């Protein structure tokens, strides 16, 4: 029983570490954001801001490309 519990704890700790190491600045996400703001340097942008940008881009609203581009640039400018 102790072995099962120990193995479970070790697996949980390993999974938690892997999840915390993940970032939202993947190549696909960066490419999508740079489609709307090609000049953007995303190396210093927080994960929360990247999530906000992706939500803005993927919003099912009626915004045109130019309107979405303006929103993305505004978020990048204002943080």
Instruction: Enter the pTM of the model.
Output: 0.67
Q: How far apart are CA 45 and CA 65, in angstroms?
A: 22
pLDDT, tens digit (0-9, with 9 covering 90-100), for 14-68:
444 444 445 677 889 999 999 999 999 998 899 999 999 999 999 878 889 999 9
Give yes or no for a contact between 72 and 52, defined as CB atoms under 8 angstroms apart.
no
User: How much is the pLDDT for 52?
Assistant: 94
pLDDT band at 76 (very low <50, low <70, confident <90, very high): very high
């Amino acid at each position: 029983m102790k072995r099962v519990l120990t193995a479970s704890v070790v697996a949980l700790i390993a999974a938690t570490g892997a999840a915390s190491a993940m970032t939202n600045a993947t190549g696909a996400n960066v490419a999508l954001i740079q489609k709307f703001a090609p000049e953007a340097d995303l190396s210093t942008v927080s994960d929360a801001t990247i999530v906000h940008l992706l939500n803005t881009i993927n919003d099912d609203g009626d915004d045109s490309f130019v309107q979405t581009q303006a929103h993305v640039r505004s978020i990048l400018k204002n943080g």
